[in-house]
Amino acid sequence: MTTNSKKGLGAFIADCMRWALSGGIGFKIYIVILLAVMGTGAYAYANQYQNGLITTGMSNIVSWGLYISNFTFFVGVAAAAVMLIIPAYILKDKDLHEVVIIGEGVAVGALVMCLIFITVDMGGPLKVWHMIPGIGLFNWPSSILAWDVLVLNGYLALNVLVPLYILYCNYNNKKPTGWKYKPFVFLSIFWAVSIHMTTAFLYQGLPARPFWNNPLLGPRFLASAFAAGPAVIMMVLITIQQKTSYFIDNRVFFKLKRIIVVSAIINLLMLFSEIFKEFYNATHHSLSAQYLFFGLDGHDALVPWIWTAISLNIIGTLLFAFDPTKCNPKYLMPAAISLFTGIWIEKGFGLIIPGFVPSPMGEVVDYAPTLNEILITVGVLATGILVVTLVIKPALVILQRFREATT
Amino acid sequence: MDSRKKEGQMKTIDILEKKTSRRSFMKKLSIAAAAGSAGLVAGGCVGTSESTEEMGLKWEEYFKKNYRMMTPEEKDETVVRLEKLAKLQDGVDIQMSNQEPQEKVLFGYAFNISRCKGYMDCVEACVQENNLDRNSKTQYIRIFEMDSGQQDPTSGDGKYHHEVPVENKYYMGIQCFHCENAPCIRACPTKATWREPDGIVVVDYDWCIGCRYCMAACPFWGRRFNWGKPEVPKEEINTKQHYLGNRKRMKGAMEKCTFCVQRTRQGKLPACADACPTGSRVFGNLLDPDSEIRYVLKHKKVFRFKEELGTDPKFWYFMD
């Protein structure tokens, strides 16, 4: 094998695709299952495209549902890559530097999901070009949604280009040149915070919805994301450690765990603060919270969900905080799943739906997604998982080769 | 003759599709595969036979600009295209206007809560006038039955279904308030909704991408979304239309009360004010010192709903 001759971009792409798709029978079954789920989702989407959003459970009262809930949550997961980027690139933490690329891969997958979720939620997806500056009309800086489109796409670009450059250098057995990518790393740190704050402002800036119109929404978004995101990354790392030969040091788990614990505790503190405000002196504006936690006028569709979410949230936090096994992956996996699921429900469903209930005219209705809607959502999730898989696999091969070649 | 034949054909196709699930499966599958392709752009309804003229018109409609960016000529052209399309697709002769706002006019509305008896003639007139979707029973206006001693319609009953008036109750009508400082306009990512110089908040249905952010932003529940394909029986279609008003809407687009722009720019009253049997609805030009609305604002005790949000609605409530 020639190690010094420079290989071109064509060879890089070809090799990446080969590494992405090669694998044992188990891997092939896994890919086929993902493709099947995506296919089902596409079929369900064709149905929605033909008949309109009437195929969903949304209505004029609850006008955003499962799609936007998931969109909101996965923006958080995408932003969480920054919790690896800061220690890896800025604090020069060697252990986390080894896995930062995985965090970025997860971010790319999450962003792809976000963009698809927004698109499937649109009434006129073919009119998306109306938003492109130049040929369309972009309501910037007035519309927060316009900002969100901007920051999400920008963050996706940053998270694709920086790792791509580093990997391409490593592929050619070279160290990446600092000045060529470091500025973008710094930029992506601020950008990560901005995607999350902007998405929070989307809701926070609406006086029409007292449940969202709350200055804690943005910061709490960040705290929950910095707990849930690293939890996802931990799940991916544990899977990699168990399924591949790629070596992941236990110290990585230890550091990740510390990040999760701190964020999760801050998140719980803010949750407590919110609950206190809503219920100590309940006002007309607390009705949404009342609907969420206890039900209102006999409508209580969200009550079991939110209590499950809070329980999982607390259990996950406690499991991470008091870990008797000293970072045994078998112990960390359920803890990560618990925390992740809890925040998923709470920051998705639990945040979006109560914003609409009661309606500005005081009406209380329940929202339940239809099967079609669920199939589309699951299809999008499968797409995200596929993207993460196909991005991380070749990256690991390149990193491992580079590691072997340099040591 | 010809058009009737075509209609018949389309109906049989419809029936066939409903019966043979395999065919519709294949159809959906092909759409799934071709999603985003140019054929879809022009089509929207794959499978039905379309004339080349219709395809061409749709193609031009798809690539037209936001209404506000159009030159007067382009506005005339799109109106002509839409008239032709209405004829080709639905077999209806419509007259569509793109009349601009008049000078020195700012529309305002006042609602007399001591006169309204909750008959809902306004609601019915609005549905007819504005070609509102009959499938989903869309209505721009809602009447809330309120107990005396209340002033907040959110505590009233917006779904009453009994003989009116009921003793010790009063009635409050809610529709888009055409706010001067409208949160919905700020929210729209594509500038598909805006406030016209005469104060009417309108939507360019063709430009709306259907994200529903405006709907989340409205504190008055003033907007309605087309979750499915809106339908109005052919014989009930109001053929006097305005581009920004009661023209045909499409699935996936937002719509709302336009103060009956197709009527009010011609000096008529909105359909709701026209239909009201009790004279509870006062509409007029706020800039005209002799108008009835100015009289009401000057001499009656008026209030506005959710004034604390600072949206500055152009809709007042008053009592005798």
**Residue range A181-221, pLDDT digits in tens:** 999 999 999 999 999 999 999 999 999 999 999 999 999 99
pLDDT of residue B150: 86
pLDDT in tens, B220-251: 999 999 999 999 999 999 999 999 999 999 99
Residue B298, burial from CB neighbour count under 10 angstroms (0-12, 13-18, 19+): exposed
Q: Is the pLDDT of residue A227 over 80?
A: yes
pLDDT of residue B5: 42
Q: Is the pLDDT of residue A224 over 60?
A: yes
- The DSSP bridge partners found for residue B144 are B172
Whether the CB-CB separation of A282 and A290 falls below 8 Å is answered with yes
Q: Is the pLDDT of residue B37 over 70?
A: no
Q: How long is chain A?
A: 407
pLDDT greater at residue B136 or residue B23: B136
What average pLDDT does this structure show over B133-156?
Answer: 93
* CATH number for the domain formed by residue range(s) A12-406: 1.20.1630.10
3-state secondary structure of B118: coil
Q: Is the pLDDT of residue B41 over 80?
A: no
Q: Which fold has domain B105-320?
A: Alpha-Beta Plaits (3.30.70)
* A271, A282, A285, A288, A361 from A358: Cα distances, Å: 21, 15, 10, 6, 7
pLDDT of residue A396: 93
Residue A72, token pair as written in the block:
């909101």
pLDDT of residue A134: 85
Between chains, do A359 and B216 touch, taking CB under 8 Å as contact? no
pLDDT of residue B33: 54
Q: Which residues of A are less than 8 Å from B36 in CB distance? A: 126
Of A153-157, A355-359, B47-51, B129-133, minimum mean pLDDT range: B47-51
Distance CA A78, CA A255 (A): 19
pLDDT greater at residue B7 or residue A385: A385
Nearest to B313 by CA among B256, B304, B111, A360: B304
Q: Is the pLDDT of residue B39 over 60?
A: no
Residue B264, token pair as written in the block:
């009010």
Distance CA B6, CA B91 (A): 11
Between chains, do B227 and A52 touch, taking CB under 8 Å as contact? yes
pLDDT in tens, B271-288: 999 999 999 999 999 999
Between chains, do B228 and A45 touch, taking CB under 8 Å as contact? no
What average pLDDT does this structure show over A94-108?
Answer: 91
| Mean pLDDT computed over every residue of chain A | 93
A358 in B contact zone (CB under 8 Å)? yes
Q: Which of A159-163, B104-108, B153-157 has the highest mean pLDDT?
A: B104-108
CATH 3.30.70.20 range(s) for chain B read 105-320
Residue A311, token pair as written in the block:
């329980």
Number of neighbouring beta carbons within 10 Å of residue B250: 17
Residue B117, token pair as written in the block:
């008896």
Distance CA A300, CA A283 (A): 19
Read off the pLDDT band of B20 (50, 70, 90).
Answer: very low
3-state secondary structure of A291: helix
Beta strands in chain B (DSSP E): 95-97, 107-112, 142-147, 169-174, 193-195, 201-203, 223-225, 240-242, 254-256, 281-285, 301-303, 315-319
Number of neighbouring beta carbons within 10 Å of residue B272: 27
Mutation for A interface: B70, B132, B213, most A CBs within 10 A: B213
Between chains, do B210 and A124 touch, taking CB under 8 Å as contact? yes
Which value, to the nearest 10 degrees, does the dihedral of the CA atoms of residues A33, A35, A39, A45 take? 110
pLDDT of residue A5: 58
What average pLDDT does this structure show over B140-159?
Answer: 91
Between chains, do A356 and B187 touch, taking CB under 8 Å as contact? no
Whether the CB-CB separation of B149 and B169 falls below 8 Å is answered with no
| Mean pLDDT computed over every residue of chain B | 88
pLDDT greater at residue A55 or residue A3: A55
Please give, rounded to a whole number of angstroms, the shortest distance from the CA of A146 to a CA of chain B.
5
Domain residues of chain A, as ranges? 12-406
| DSSP per-residue string spanning A215-253 | TTHHHHHHHHHHHHHHHHHHHHHHHHHHHSS----HHHH
Q: What is the identity of the amino acid at A78?
A: A
Contacts of B269 (CB under 8 A, 6+ apart): B260, B263, B283
Whether the CB-CB separation of A103 and B146 falls below 8 Å is answered with no
pLDDT of residue A46: 97
pLDDT of residue B26: 53
Q: How long is chain B?
A: 320
Read off the pLDDT band of B29 (50, 70, 90).
Answer: low
Q: Is B65 left (phi over 0), alpha (psi -120 to 50) or beta?
A: beta
pLDDT in tens, B176-222: 999 999 999 999 999 999 999 999 999 999 999 999 999 999 999 99
Percent of chain B with pLDDT over 90: 81
Whether the CB-CB separation of B272 and B263 falls below 8 Å is answered with no
Nearest to A263 by CA among A308, A215, A312, A321: A321
Percent of chain A with pLDDT over 90: 85
Distance CA A373, CA A347 (A): 19
Residue B102, token pair as written in the block:
């008049």
pLDDT of residue B27: 55
Residue B290, burial from CB neighbour count under 10 angstroms (0-12, 13-18, 19+): exposed
Whether the CB-CB separation of A368 and A52 falls below 8 Å is answered with no
